[in-house]
Amino acid sequence: MQAANRLQQALKSGQPSFGGWQMLPGANLSRAIARTPGLDFVVVDGEHGNIADADMHDSVAAIAACGLSPVVRVAEGQHWMIKRALDAGAHGIIVPLIQTVEDARNVVKYSKFPPLGNRGLGSPFAAEKFAPGRTGDIQEIGLAQYFKEANDSILVIVQIETASALEQVKEIAAVDGVDVCFVGPVDLGNSIGHPPENVGVYAPELEQAIEKIHRETQAAGKWTGIYTGSGEQAKTFADRRFNLINVVNDVGAIRKTFAEEAAAARK
């Protein structure tokens, strides 16, 4: 199963992994994003996106079928929300607005099967998203194998985007089962009183906070992720040896392309 998790394999390679962010519903949109060259994962945003439960299930399936890793950002770290994302077959989950070490421990507990956690087994949809092979030549994965291997094959990603989590980032990063500490720069800046002035324009205090998260996460032997709004900004964080980097979201990409083409037409 681990071999089918493209994002996990990309992270283990030591090279930066890049992904797209889906906020609009639709499996066709998921496929269009997932077929973009150069991406390893697509985040289906169940927190701020217009993504309902059924939409999330369809998008996870579409992304996995294209060979990329579907990652679901849940609305918050509730047990049932994490369960729905993982039962859909997500290769990883992102949990926003972590506040404390206990929050991080609960995310791990809700994401892992016993004895590491208390996730329940029963979804008929999850295992197929990890099945190797192409259409017509699929090696099926049964529930028993999924139960045995899922704990090591699913990425647990916690967002560090509050002042409280920033203060405790060393302890949060050290939690067994947390794979990635993911920086949410907008909410982090708001929380510490230094909101971004524009996309990618950060006050020195916010830059210092981001660097602290990166430093403590790496020291714990974990991977660091961050949300960016452009390929240029993503490149700067790749150069800083961040591991998991969002490149652009669908709404932003659509608006940018339409604006550029409309401007070109009016010249």
Tell the residue number behind the tokens 């993504």, with chain if given.
51
- Quote helix, strand, coil % in the chain, to nearest 5: 45, 15, 35
What residue type is 93 in one-letter code?
I
Tell the residue number behind the tokens 């037409």, with chain if given.
265
Pair 234, 247: CB distance under 8 Å: yes
Of 64, 9, 67, 14, nearest to 37 by C-alpha is 67
Find the radius of gyration of the CA atoms of the chain.
Answer: 18
**Is 48 in the active site?**
yes
Upper half-sphere CA count for residue 168 (Cβ side, 13 Å):
19
Pair 211, 231: CB distance under 8 Å: no
Q: Please pick, among 48, 57, 91, 194, the residue that the annotation labels catalytic.
A: 48
Report the catalytic residues.
48
